[in-house]
Amino acid sequence: MVKGNATRANRVSYGEFGLQALEGGWLSAESIEAGRITMSHAIRGEGRVFIRVFPHKSITAIPAETRMGKGKGEPEYWAAVVKSGMILFEVSGLPEAAAREALAKVAYKMPFRCRLVSRLAGTT
């Protein structure tokens, strides 16, 4: 579990609607890719998708049935460090109902609780 709340990347900046993480954690490159594929299928070539996270962190692991020692394990996968409140995906050029439906499908693929957010009214 990643501690703390997002103090940046927690506002919809590029699109009109976004998917906000309500918990912290590591988001694997596979999960990001699964979300991207789901999103592109859901919007069917309409609108534009923005991915706000990138898997910069390498996660190492020691293979099963290995004796202790002999140094650190090899990188197993790559992950993005996500704090509570971070915007993971954004979408623009879609009506609200279509954006809601698409982001709900993406949220299903995410390993944490998410919510849909729109640009804050009156905060321009």
Partner 1 sequence: MSEPIVLQTEKREGTGSRKAAKLRKAGKVPGVLYGHKETTVSFSVDHDQLVALVKTGARVIDFTYETAAEKAQIMELQYDYLGKDILHVDLKRVSANERITLKVRVDLRGIAPGASKGVLDQPLHTLNVECSAISVPDSIKVNISELQLGQSIYVKDLTLPPGVKVLDDPDAIVVHVTTPDLEPAAGAAAESAEPEVIRKAKAEAEAEEK
CB 121, min distance to partner 1, A: 6
By CB under 8 A, tell whether 91 contacts partner 1: no
User: Which residues, in sequence order, are CB contacts of 26 under 8 Å at separation 6+?
Assistant: 2, 57, 59, 79, 80, 81, 82
Site string for partner 1, 27-66 (x = CB under 8 A): --xx-xx--xx--x----xxxx-----xxx-x--------
Instruction: Map residue 76 onto helix, strand or coil.
Output: strand
Tokens coding 80: 């993005």
* Residue 51: CB atoms within 10 Å: 14
Residue ranges that bind partner 1, judged by CB under 8 A: 5-7, 10-11, 16, 20, 22, 29-30, 32-33, 36-37, 40, 45-48, 54-56, 58, 74-75, 77-78, 84-85, 92-93, 117, 119-124
